[in-house]
Structure formats: structure tokens, C-alpha cells
Structure 1
Amino acid sequence: MPITFEEAVKLETVPIKDALELYDSLPATEPKEMIGAWRGSGMHTGHPMDGLLEAIEWYGKYYKSYEEVHPLVFKTKDGSSFFALDPAKAQFSYTPGDPLPKDLEAEVKTSDYKARLRNTEYRGKIAATMIYDNLPINDVFHKVDADTMLGAMDLKGSDLTHPFFFILRREKDNKVASAFGN
């Protein structure tokens, strides 16, 4: 019996075997279920990217439509609004504990959508997938419930037996959408 999602989120680090079993046990998500704003967090499994998104204060993702996706949303420096990061401009090396770029927002902010939603097959299931426009990355989603998704990052050239996992929780208010004029 796989670990439950509730058990997994209570762990500091989820063994990769358990994370994969949990992910595979969840139903695939349809692209239409992803539309809206989502708050993100990492699920640590010993992956080299564990802690990176939290360290750079990633907020989440915003799916306006199948063609209009902001894959990386952050709060503004003053915390009053949100901005989208251009993933192609954010190709900086980061090790936890290193200082972040002085003004991440100014260096990588974009108003252009940088990803899209499609169904793809991953680990034997056809599921909603966020495909980055300019990077070899697909984020594939399985449903915990209608408002919670477990994502697996499929990064070209990475270890397919150890994807980077993250959690998305649907935002109930319209603050993120409003920040993007929607």
C-alpha cells in the first residue's frame, strides 16, 4: 500500500520509492482542471532541486488557458502583488545557502506567457502537462483532490527514476489572476 498524501506532506523527506508509488497511485489530471491560480510547495525526496523553489520564494503557477500559462509566479518584493518569471532568463546556478540575485524581479520579470497545457503520457498515464516554451521541461500532474495536485518535473536529461516533485494547491481568491489583469 503506497504512502498517503497526508502522510507524505508530514515528512521532512519522502523516500523516492514512496513518492513514486504515491504519484503513480493518483489519478491523472485533465488540462481543464488546471485552469486558475495555484500555490506551490516542494515535496522533498532527496532530489538535487529540493529546496530551490522555496529558497527563491516561488509562489506558484497561473493557468489562464491551455495556451496562456505563467509557469513561475512570485510575489513582488513589497509583497503587494505578483509577477511572472521568464524561466529562460532564470538560468542561474543556485546552491542552498548561496545569495540570490539582488533583484530577481527586475532581472527575470515577464508579461508574456511562457508555457502551455497539453495531455502527455508519463509513467504509463496520460495526464495534464505543463510544457515550457523554451526549456526541455514538462510538469505532469496527478490529482490528490479537485484542489490539490502532485506534480512531477520531467526534465530532459534527468534521472527518470527520480523526478523533482512539487505540490500545487488551488487559490480560492483572485489575487494572482487580478495581478495579471484577468
Structure 2
Amino acid sequence: MENIDFLNVILRNGTSQEEAFAFYDQLDIAEPEEMIGMWKGEEIVTGHPLEGLLTASGWYGKEFIGEEHVHPLIFKKSNEVLYTINPNLLPINFLLQSLHNIPKKILPSSMTILRPILKTNKSKARLRKVKHRGKVTSAMIYDNKGIIDVFRKVDANTLLGIMDIKEQLPDKAFFFILRKV
């Protein structure tokens, strides 16, 4: 089965953490210059506690302007206008511990209320190459946050990402894809 076909199956049906890691491990590395541009994101269901949070909040994707300037969290308003938020203001540890108690239906209205506080025009991440799971590949390193998104290439316009959160166990990752816009 082709990589893109398998990706479409796991996007539709979800998968286990083990199967997602196995798929990720066999993919080619992503070079920083291949990542420049706007990318639309989508979560992959693998049983991670953060699943559903980004989608319910209106997450659009990421924008890689250059190696020193990355917008790691781009969201969309209901009228399709895009805006970037400051991830430093998001309480990731609290969300990981409490997300199961937060009804996802309140997230869109919460983002509308919090948008003026969270919104930024400043870059909040950098792009670097890191060794992850045996290969040196592109990674987005959040400024002032214990999070690194590490990428592998499904094809020229599709990336598989793993959100590596410092406080999480290394065998439990949040998986997502990015498609070049």
C-alpha cells in the first residue's frame, strides 16, 4: 500500500500508537527548505489525550516562513480568516490533565473570547534538524515551551508530525499531518 493511501486509511479509521510510530519510522526525512510555506493540519486518532482539542478549537495549521520564523499555531475564525496565536499562553500541562473534563463543544466559543489575548503576529518557533527515532529530520521547536514537533515526509506535499511534549512519556505521542497549501 502506498504511503498516502495508508495515511488516508488511518485518518479515516484512526490507528494505534504502535502502528502510527511504525508508519512514521519508515518514512523519509523532511528537509527544512521543503517545509517553507503554509500548511493545513489534521489530527490522527491514536488515543492521545490532546486529540480533538485542536480541531474543536478551529486549528488550521502551521506556517514556516524561514528557519528562524515559524507560526506554530494558526487558527481560523468562522469566516475563514486566519490568525496566529501565542502557544506560550496555552496551559498544556493543565489541558493534558483536564481535557477529559472539558466539553469540546465549548472550545470554539472559548477561542472567540480568548482570541484577543492569545493572538500574535510574532514568530513563536524555529525550524531545526534533530535526531529523532534514528533519523535526522526537520523539527519545529517552540519558543519557551517544552514542545518539539518532529516531521517525516509522506510525499512532497504531505508531512506526518509527532508532537513531542517534554512532560509526556516518549512512547505516547500526538500525531498529526500537514498538507501544503
TM-score normalised by structure 1 residue count: 0.86
Shift of 1:144: 0.4
Report what 2:9 is aligned to: 7
1:164 aligns with 2:174: yes
Which residue in the other structure is 2:86 paired with? 86
Q: Percent identity?
A: 41
2:160/2:175 contact within 8 Å kept? yes
Deviation readout 1:92-149 (Å, 9 max, x if unpaired): 7452515232513112000110001000011111110000011010000000001000
CA RMSD of aligned residues (A): 1.9
Kept in 2: contact 1:2–1:22 (CA 8 A): no
Which deviations, in whole Å up to 9, do the C-alpha atoms of 1:16-35 show, x marking residues without a partner?
Answer: 11101000011110111110
Which has the higher mean CA deviation after the structures are superposed, 83-92 or 127-136? 83-92
Consecutive unaligned residues of structure 2, counting only runs of 5 or more, are none
Structure 2 partner of 1:40:
41
TM-score by length of 2: 0.87
Amino acid at match of 2:48: H
Deviation at 1:62, TM superposition (A): 0.4
The equivalent residue for 1:133 is 143
CA distance in 1, matches of 2:142, 2:160: 18
Contact 2:11 2:45 in 1 (8 A): no
* Residue in structure 1 matched with residue 62 of structure 2 by the alignment: 61
Q: Which moved more, 1:131-140 or 1:97-106?
A: 97-106
- Which consecutive residues of structure 1, in runs of 5 or more, have no partner in the other structure? 172-182
1:88 corresponds to which letter in structure 2? Answer: N
Secondary structure of residue in 2 paired with 1:106: helix
Paired residue type of 2:88: A
Q: Match of 1:22, as an amino acid?
A: F
Aligned to 2:30: 29
Partner of 1:97 in structure 2? 103
Aligned partner of 1:32: which letter?
E
Equivalent residue of 2:28, what SS? coil
> 2:146 and 2:89 mapped to 1: Cα distance?
14
Q: Which amino acid aligns with 1:107?
A: I
On the 8 A contact 1:129/1:141 being kept in 2, the answer is yes
User: Match for 2:132: what amino acid?
Assistant: Y
Aligned structure 1 segments of 4 or more residues deviating by more than 6 angstroms: none
The DSSP-based 3-state class of the residue aligned with 2:75 is strand
Indicate if the aligned counterparts of 1:16 and 1:162 stay in contact, CA closer than 8 A: yes
Pairs aligned (count): 169
Question: Higher helix fraction: Structure 1 or Structure 2?
Answer: 2
Tell me the secondary structure at the aligned position of residue 170 of structure 2: coil
SS at match of 2:91: coil
Q: Confirm or deny: 8 A CA contact 1:14 1:45 kept in the other structure.
A: yes
Residues 2 and 164 of structure 1: CA distance in aligned 2, closer, same or farther (over 3 Å): farther
